[in-house]
Amino acid sequence: MKLLAVIETSAPLSSLYHIMPSFPWFGMDIGGTLVKLVYFEPKDITAEEEQEEVENLKSIRRYLTSNTAYGKTGIRDVHLELQDLTLCGRTGNLHFIRFPTHDLPAFLQMGRNKHFSSLHTTLCATGGGAYKFESDFRTMADLQLHKLDELDCLIRGVLYIDSVVSSGPSECYYFENPTDPDRCIQKPYTLENPYPLLLVNIGSGVSILAVYSETNYKRVTGTSLGGGTFLGLCCLLTGCSTFEEALEMASQGESTRVDKLVRDIYGGNYERFGLPGWAVASSFGNMMSKDKRESVSKEDLARATLVTITNNIGSITRMCALNENIERVVFVGNFLRVNTLSMKLLAYAMDYWSKGQLKALFLQHEGYFGAVGALLELLHPA
Partner 1 sequence: MAEWSGLHSSTSRHTMDKSITLPPDEIFRNLENAKRFAIDIGGSLTKLAYYSTVQHKVAKVRSFDHATKTEMVDELYEISVQEEVTARLHFIKFENAYIETCLDFVRDHLVNTDTKVIKATGGGAHKFKELIERKLGLRVDKEDEMTCLIKGCNFVLRNIPHEAFVYAKHADSEFRFQTTQPDIFPYLLVNIGSGVSIVKVESEDKFERIGGSSIGGGTFWGLGALLTKTKRFDELLQLASKGQHTSVDMLVKDIYGGSYGSLGLTGDLIASSFGKSATADKGFPKEDMAKSLLHMISNDIGQLACLYAKLHNLSRVYFGGFFIRGHPVTMHTITYSINFFTKGEVQALFLRHEGYLGAIGAFLKGAEEDNPNQYSWGENYAGSSGLMSVSPDMNPMQRARSGTFDMLEMDRLERKLVNLPLLQDASSYIPDTVDLAEDALAREYWLYCFEEALDGVVKRALASQPDMPEAAERAEKFRQKYRHKLQTLRHQPFAYGSLTVRSLLDTREHCLNEFNFPDPYSKIKQRENDMALKYYQKVVKSLEELSWEERQFALIRGVLAGNVFDWGAKAVSDVLESEPEFGFEQAKRKLEGIPSISLLCGPPHKCALFFVDNSGLDIILGVMPFVRELLSRGTEVVLASNSAPALNDVTNGELQILTESIAAMDPVIQAGLREDRLTLVQSGSSSPCLDLSRLDKVLAMVVRERKTDLVIIEGMGRAIHTNYYAMLSCESLKMAVIKNSWLADRLGGKLFSVVFKYEVPAAGHDSEALTPP
- Residues in touch with partner 1 (CB under 8 A): 31-33, 100, 102, 127-129, 131-134, 149, 151, 203-205, 219, 221, 223-229, 231-237, 241, 258-260, 265, 272-273, 279-288, 290, 293, 301, 308, 311-312, 315-316, 319-320, 322-323
Residue 138 C-beta: closest distance to partner 1, Å: 13
The Cα–Cα gap between 133 and 294 comes to: 44
Contact 280, 311 (CB under 8 A): yes
C-beta of 66 vs 325, nearer to partner 1 = 325
Residue 116 C-beta: closest distance to partner 1, Å: 22
- The phi, psi pair for 184, rounded to 5°, reads -75, 115
Residue 56 C-beta: closest distance to partner 1, Å: 29
SS3 116: helix
The Cα–Cα gap between 192 and 143 comes to: 40
Residue 166 C-beta: closest distance to partner 1, Å: 34
C-beta of 164 vs 302, nearer to partner 1 = 302
Q: Is 377 a catalytic residue?
A: no
C-beta of 192 vs 291, nearer to partner 1 = 291
Exposed, middle or buried, 49 (CB in 10 Å: 0-12/13-18/19+)?
A: exposed
Q: Which residues contact 6 (CB under 8 A, 6 or more apart)?
A: 156, 159, 160, 163, 214, 376, 380
How many other CB atoms are there within 10 angstroms of residue 312's CB atom?
A: 17
CA 245 to chain CA mean position, Å? 19
CA distances from 273 to 23, 143, 266, 270, 320 (A): 61, 59, 12, 6, 22
SS3 251: helix
Start-to-end Cα distance in the chain: 24
Contact 156, 150 (CB under 8 A): no
C-beta of 60 vs 287, nearer to partner 1 = 287
Helices 340-353 and 243-252 meet at what angle, rounded to 10? 60
C-beta of 6 vs 309, nearer to partner 1 = 309
Exposed, middle or buried, 348 (CB in 10 Å: 0-12/13-18/19+)?
A: buried
Residue 179 C-beta: closest distance to partner 1, Å: 18
C-beta of 120 vs 355, nearer to partner 1 = 355
Catalytic residue among 150, 214, 366, 377: 150
Nearest residue to 310 (alpha-carbon basis) of 276, 335, 279, 284: 335
Residue 234 C-beta: closest distance to partner 1, Å: 8
Residue 263 C-beta: closest distance to partner 1, Å: 13
Supply the residues annotated as catalytic.
150
